[in-house]
Amino acid sequence: MRFGGLLELLAGYDPEKVADHVGLQRFAGTGVLAIGALITVGGLADVVGSDQAVIVAIWVAVVVALVAVGLGVQRFSTRTK
């Protein structure tokens, strides 16, 4: 999404309801990349045997990032009356 512009991959994406396509593409794409990086770090931390508190903190960060991206993409939609 960030570099390929594949906004139709977003669940519920309706081009008629998006006010800023480029902003949505950048925000959602960056969010997906960040979440992917966090998941990768969490998996690597688990594999190398990091402290359990570190692993839990990483997974909490993943959940927070998911919620933040899920709520943040709504600012790019047009308001219906």
Q: Where in the sequence is the domain holding 55, given as residue range(s)?
A: 20-76
The answer to whether position 8 is within a domain reads: no
The answer to whether position 11 is within a domain reads: no
The answer to whether position 4 is within a domain reads: no
The answer to whether position 2 is within a domain reads: no
Per-residue pLDDT of the chain (81 residues; tens, 9 = 90+): 555 555 655 656 667 777 887 888 888 889 989 999 999 999 999 899 889 999 999 999 999 999 999 888 888 877 654
Query: What's the number of domains the chain is made of?
Result: 1
Among 20, 4, 31, 11, residue whose Cα is nearest residue 78: 20
Query: From the DSSP assignment, how many helices (H) and strands (E) are in the chain?
Result: 2, 0
Model pTM score: 0.75
